[in-house]
Amino acid sequence: MDQLIKMVSEKTGISESQATTAVQTVVSFLKDKMPAGMGSQLDSLIKGDSAADLTGGLKDKIGGMFGK
């Protein structure tokens, strides 16, 4: 998440403290709007966990939404 916060701070010209608040607000909003269980996938993506693990998890979740 630190990389995302730094990028937001640099691109917007706001302090890292303000960028942290902005990023946390957006992530919280997205997690509230996502189907159950996908919030942890977003956390993994933001932390920078393995893209392969994330992709597999998302594929399973999306497939489950459509009964596959």
Do 44 and 54 touch, CB atoms closer than 8 A?
Answer: yes
Residue 21 lies in domain: 2-65
Domain count, the chain: 1
Long-range contacts of range 49-54, CB-CB < 8 Å, 24 or more positions apart?
Answer: none
Between the alpha carbon of residue 46 and those of residues 63, 64, 66, 68, the distances in Å are 22, 23, 26, 27
- The per-residue pLDDT for 52 is 43
- Give residue 54's pLDDT: 45
pLDDT at 12: 95
pLDDT tens, per residue, the chain with 68 residues? 888 899 999 999 999 999 999 999 999 999 999 888 888 888 888 887 544 444 455 556 565 556 55
- Which backbone phi and psi does 67 adopt, to 5 degrees? 75, 25
